[in-house]
């Protein structure tokens, strides 16, 4: 016979029942069993400190991004103003040349020549684009390309700022959670 002791049958049943009860409790509580008063583990404190550091970095990042956004908007407005001013200068030069050539002697002549240029512009537009709505689409395309040229890689800057602001609110909630003692 063997010298080994056999584990009694009732002990196996007791071990299996204990494991089944333990698994059932774990599943029922989804692993969120709170046993007595617990202090916050160090890893949660580290997460809170990490969230505070991330919060500070995000605040600085958002300030820089908003400053960049203001700078780019000013640049775009300045360039757009220069383009408008350029059109006015071209029109003024046209009227000035007409005055030098003797075609414009008074305000009525200046208006007539301006209207003539507008009619020529509309005729060229009709020959090129077909109708005025296509001209509007072309002008919008030029404006969009100008914006892309100014904004470049920062086209989605506003949405990035919004995402970072949402993350700051989440981090503020995480940081302001009172510690449990």
Tell me how far CA of residue 136 lies from CA of 78, 91, 117, 139, 140, in angstroms. 22, 20, 18, 5, 6
Taking the model in full, what pTM does it have? Answer: 0.49
Q: What DSSP state is assigned to residue 77?
A: H
Q: What is the per-residue DSSP string for 107-148?
A: HHHHHHHHHHHHHHHHHHHHHHHSSHHHHHHHHHHHHHHHHH
Give SS3 for 152: helix
Please state the domain extents for the chain.
9-175
In terms of C-beta density within 10 A (0-12 exposed, 13-18 middle, 19 or more buried), how is residue 164 classed? middle
- pLDDT band of 41, cuts 50, 70, 90: very low
Exposure of 104 by Cβ count < 10 A (0-12 exposed, 13-18 middle, 19+ buried)? buried
Summarised one tens digit per residue, pLDDT across range 69-126 is: 888 888 888 888 898 899 899 999 999 999 999 988 999 999 999 999 888 888 887 8
- 6-32 tens-digit pLDDT: 778 888 888 888 888 888 887 777 656
Please tell me the predicted confidence (pLDDT) of residue 89: 93
**Which of helix, strand or coil describes residue 101?**
helix
């Amino acid at each position: 016979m063997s010298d080994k002791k056999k584990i009694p049958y009732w002990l196996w049943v007791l071990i299996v029942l204990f494991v089944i009860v333990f698994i059932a409790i774990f599943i029922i509580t989804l692993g969120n069993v709170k046993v007595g008063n617990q202090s916050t583990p160090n890893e949660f404190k580290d997460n809170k400190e990490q969230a505070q550091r991330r919060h500070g970095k995000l605040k600085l990042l958002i300030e820089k991004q908003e400053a960049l956004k203001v700078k780019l908007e000013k640049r775009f407005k300045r360039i757009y103003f220069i383009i408008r001013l350029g059109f006015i200068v071209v029109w003024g030069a046209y009227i000035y040349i007409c005055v030098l050539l003797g075609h414009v002697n008074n305000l009525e002549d200046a208006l007539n020549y301006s209207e003539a240029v507008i009619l020529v512009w509309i005729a060229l537009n009709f020959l090129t684009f077909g109708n005025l709505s296509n001209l509007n689409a072309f002008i919008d395309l030029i404006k969009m390309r100008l914006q892309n040229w100014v904004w470049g890689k920062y086209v989605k800057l506003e949405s990035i700022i919004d995402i970072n602001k949402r993350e700051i609110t989440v981090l503020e909630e995480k940081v302001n959670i009172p510690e449990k003692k």
